[in-house]
Amino acid sequence: MIPFDNSYARLPEHFHAFVSPAQVPDPKLIRLNGALAEDLGLDLEWLSSPAGLAMLAGNAMPEGAEPLAQAYAGHQFGGWAPQLGDGRAILLGEIIKKDGQRRDIQLKGSGRTPFSRGGDGKAAIGPVLREYILSEAMHALGVPTTRALAAVSTGEIVRREEPLPGAILTRVASSHIRVGTFQYFYAQNDVAALKTLADHVIARHYPDAAITDEPYAVFLEGVVAAQAKLIAQWMHLGFIHGVMNTDNTTVSGETIDYGPCAFMDTFHPDKVFSSIDRQGRYAWSNQPVIGHWNLLRLAETLLPLISPDAEAARSKAESAIERFSPIFRDHYLAGYRRKLGISGQDDAQEDFIKRTLGILAEQQVDYTLFFRHLTKVATGSTNDTLKGLFDDPAVYQSWLDDWSQREIDVTVMQQANPILIPRNHRVEQAIRFAQDGDFKPFHRLVDALQQPFSEQPAHADLEEAPTSSEEVRATFCGT
Ligand code: AMP
Ligand code: MG
């Protein structure tokens, strides 16, 4: 019932391990993403049938599925891990959409694989719903991301710090190939595998590179540009990925592996949520630094492919990597110009953007509400709410006077400033209710976040910043 067209399974056997998903006792559909199913050209009726549910739960594999766990390595918080791999995810196979785009269909939380090490390969309901909410919100916010096709409860209890209901996410991605996938073969000095992998990725994600004289350097440039743009988009939204390890960095430029990620409430550039990020390595403002570092790790692996002449290879890789900073900067500044509704490219604008963010931090302003209400002010609404976000009304007034002197484009602001983001306290609230069997807050949040730029009076409460007792200050991987 699913027209699988698997290419990763055709790659050499040390790229993956074939493995069947574990059986689960009592699968129930929590949510099926109808719009995504339709976009993928999948039969919605079949997916919602007992046979469809059996696939989404890993209990029965439809014809054409070739379940496998992918091998990869990675730098985790800067430390090298030579073998990670899909320890709790199983790729069922790939399909080709009507527009010719290839998509992976993967179960996350469907049991042990040869890469599970000490883990159980399962997922608790919290991380599954979290990834569902966040990845679908990111998509609606216009950010490249893996998607959520379905969430299923398994009827099993998984043991974490406490016993929790088990669940499985069906994840869809343009591929699950990571910087760490390249590092896996690089560390083994397996140049033949690196070439096979690079050719696979070029055909899949960077077909234009294939027709150049230097496909591997052009591929690297493509990943550099995609990651630079992605990280700028995260920052515009106040998004902190939280675990930007090289194994969580895709070569497609999609956001992947929503662990302890979070959207900031009150703005601060040094903000970190992940309880395991004690040094602030993955703080909001450090994300481009880390993105650049991760791309250097990718570049290293491509050197032998870029040129047989080591010196030439190094210089080409360096010039590809050097493009990161200017591309990031252009996207970063352009995005803030849109958020502020100001145009032009002069340095004064850059200073103004810097100054604005400095004031938001110093005045402890809620990041999303600031741009949301500034947009309202630009439409001519009264500005009491905006003013109220600042500790000091005089600071607000002098900033506003400065901003008001510029030519403002309201339409651009409306398209750049979301009204709704998945606020941490709302995500955690939805998870708490779901753990007790009530999925209403989860469904409401997912529904509302499908239109993050639209006025939705029925969901106005979801815009609000948390009270100090509601505020989430730390997030956990929860794997
Ligand atoms: P993450 O940082 O969550 O992306 O995961 C890092 C590595 O740990 C990956 O190789 C995962 O497959 C593995 N992992 C995470 N949770 C589990 C689990 N419950 N069982 C087995 N492996 C896991
Ligand atoms: Mg990961």
**Contact of 167 with 153, CB cutoff 8 Å:** yes
**Ligand 1 pocket check for 111: Cβ under 6 Å:** no
What's the pLDDT at 475? 81
Cα dihedral sign, 44-46-50-53: negative
Question: Does the C-beta of 259 come closer than 6 Å to ligand 1?
Answer: yes
233 vs 198: CA distance, rounded Å:
26
The confidence score (pLDDT) of residue 474 equals: 85
CA dist list (Å): 120 to 23, 197, 415, 472: 13, 29, 43, 28
**What pLDDT shows up at residue 126?**
97
Residue nearest to atom 7 of ligand 1 (CA): 84
- Nearest residue (by CA) to ligand 1, atom 12, is 87
Active site residues: 247
User: In this structure, which ligand is nearest to the CA of 22?
Assistant: 1
The amino acid sitting at 357 is: L
How many other CB atoms are found less than 10 A from the CB of residue 365?
27
- For residue 257, give the ligand 1 atom closest to its CA: 4
Tell me the best of 154, 241, 479 to mutate to test the pocket of ligand 1, counting ligand atoms within 8 Å of each CB and taking the most.
Answer: 479
The alpha carbon of 299 and the centre of ligand 1 are apart by a number of angstroms equal to 25
Stated pTM of the model: 0.97
| pLDDT score of 130 | 98
Total residue count of the chain as it appears in this document: 479
pLDDT at 477: 64
Ligand that lies nearest to the alpha carbon of residue 72, given by its number in the listed order = 1
Contact 119 CB / ligand 1 (< 6 Å): yes
Distance 257 CA to ligand 2 centre (A): 5
Helix (H) or strand (E) holding 199: helix 191-205
Ligand nearest to the CA of 247: 2
Domain extent listing, the chain: 8-173, 177-417
CA of 176 to the centre of ligand 1 (A): 14
Interatomic CA distance for residues 450 and 388, integer angstroms:
28
Cβ(243) – ligand 1 distance below 6 Å:
yes
Alpha carbon of 145 to ligand 2 centroid (Å): 14
State the helix-helix crossing angle for 287-306 and 179-187, rounded to 10 degrees.
50
Angle subtended by helix axes 191-205 and 287-306, to nearest 10: 120
Q: What distance in angstroms lies between residue 32's CA and the mean position of ligand 1's atoms?
A: 24
- Cβ–ligand 1 distance for 83 under 6 Å, the answer no
**Mean pLDDT in order along the chain per 10 residues (479 residues):** 96 98 98 98 96 98 98 97 97 97 98 97 98 98 98 97 97 98 98 98 98 98 98 98 97 96 97 91 97 98 97 98 98 97 83 97 98 97 92 97 95 98 98 97 98 98 95 76
User: Per residue, what are the HEC states of 355-391?
Assistant: HHHHHHHHCCCEHHHHHHHHHHHHCCCCCHHHHHCCC
**Could you tell me the CA-to-CA distances from 396 to 151, 353, 374, 375, 466 in Å, in that order?**
44, 15, 11, 15, 22
85 close to ligand 1 (CB < 6 Angstrom) = yes
